[in-house]
Amino acid sequence: MSNHAGHGHHDTHPADIDWDVLGPLLEQEAELNGTQYEEAARWIAALPTAPKVRRILDIGSGPGVVSCLLAQVFPEAEVVAVDATPALLERAKNRARRLGVIDRFQTLEAELPADFDRLGEADLIWAGNSLHHLGDQRAALARFAGLLRAGGTVALVEGGLPTRRLPRDIGIGQPGLEARMGAAAATRFEHMRSELPGAKREIEDWSALFSAVGLAPQGTRSFLLDLPAPLSRPVRDHVIASVTREREVLGELLTAEDSAVLERLLDPEDPEGLHHRADVHLLAARTVHLGRRR
């Protein structure tokens, strides 16, 4: 199980993934969302019920952007980045070294749910868009609850809003391209879920699921990423890289017309494309749900 650092919609079979391409993309994505993740971590740290955080598990850590951020927000804590992909854990380790938190940083290559018993106890379990990669989400949440020390917290990043990068009408093709790409991603996501081992359908009421596994819901907050046009070069490059990947991943789920429009949008020579358009922006919301072990 890999959380792809917030990429709920990038759910390709691990064997098909080129991590040299996806690794940097995931890292950029999490870095762009860094302010929201930091706000979320500070929210957790400031809760009147917050425990003393000595050990943190970042489940599906990907390249470790959030793991390192958690290490900075919780300066007393040991942080364990947990992921199934060695290439991403290597990135996480290098990042921790660069940021000077390596002395409190560990990586653990683990495949969930098989390796739950290798995780050890924690005061904070951060699961960033990773729970939905497990077939039985309720059972996994119950296992997380079992790993928490008294007063410990689970932070689930699930839900939020689809990312928007373009206006509804971009002047080429049929208006509403991103909404249709979102619908295709939702179809693909459902297909990914249905093929997971032990897949169970669950109403995605995270507070109710916390209660069902004996955790007390501690609130839900959404954090906004709002980068209006005109974008800086690095952010524009990131948008181009993500749209390139979505086009590959959504492939057959898009109409021929939408595919042709995406081709134009990704053509560096096309004046109507993402490389040159003045209206490209980045707007996203991430939702964090907290549950506490009494």
Q: Where are the domains of the chain?
A: 14-293
pLDDT at 5: 39
Can you state the angle between helices 86-98 and 65-73, rounded to 10 degrees? Answer: 40
In the chain, the percentage of residues whose pLDDT exceeds 90 is: 86
Q: Angle, nearest 10°, between helix axes 233-250 and 177-194?
A: 60
For 282, residues 6+ apart whose C-beta sits below 8 A from its C-beta are 32, 163, 164, 165, 225, 226, 227, 231, 235, 238, 239
What is the overall mean pLDDT for the chain?
Answer: 92
Contacts of 46 (CB under 8 A, 6+ apart): none
What per-residue confidence (pLDDT) applies to 210? 98
In degrees and rounded to multiples of 5, residue 239 shows phi and psi of: -60, -45
* 3-class secondary structure, 145: helix
Across residues 237-257, what is the average pLDDT?
A: 95
For residue 115, pLDDT beyond 50: yes
Contact of 135 with 261, CB cutoff 8 Å: no
Q: Which residue has the higher pLDDT, 237 or 2?
A: 237
d(CA 260, CA 272): 13
Tell me if 134 sits within 8 A of 193, measured CB to CB: no
Helices (H), the chain: 19-32, 34-46, 65-73, 86-98, 137-147, 177-194, 206-212, 233-250, 256-266
| CA distance linking residue 212 with residue 142, whole number of Å | 8
Residue 11 predicted with pLDDT over 50? no
pLDDT at 16: 66
For residues 45, 102, 5, 38, the Cα torsion angle rounded to the nearest 10 degrees is 30
pLDDT level of residue 174 (50, 70, 90 thresholds) = very high
Q: How confident is the model at residue 12 (pLDDT cuts 50, 70, 90)?
A: very low
Q: Quote the pLDDT of residue 19.
A: 72
Alpha-carbon distance of 136 to 202, in angstroms, equals 8
Q: What is the pLDDT of residue 260?
A: 98
27-31, 127-131, 158-162: least confident range? 27-31
- What pLDDT was estimated at residue 29? 82
Residues 6+ apart with CB under 8 A from 80: 55, 56, 57, 58, 67, 106, 107, 108, 119, 120, 122
Which pTM does this prediction carry? 0.91
- 255 pLDDT band, cuts 50/70/90, is very high
The pLDDT assigned to 3 comes to 42
| Confidence check: pLDDT of 2 > 80 | no
CA 277 vs. chain centroid, Å, equals: 27
Residue scoring higher pLDDT (4 or 210): 210
- Model confidence at 273: pLDDT above 50: yes
Q: Is the pLDDT of residue 9 over 50?
A: no
Give per-residue pLDDT as tens, 186-206. Answer: 999 999 999 999 999 999 999
- pLDDT over threshold 70, residue 7: no
Amino acid at 170: I
Give the tens place of pLDDT for each residue, 55-75: 999 999 999 999 999 999 999
CA distances from 235 to 81, 99, 139 (A): 26, 22, 38
The pLDDT value recorded for residue 15 is 53
Level-2 CATH architecture, domain 14-293? 3-Layer(aba) Sandwich (3.40)
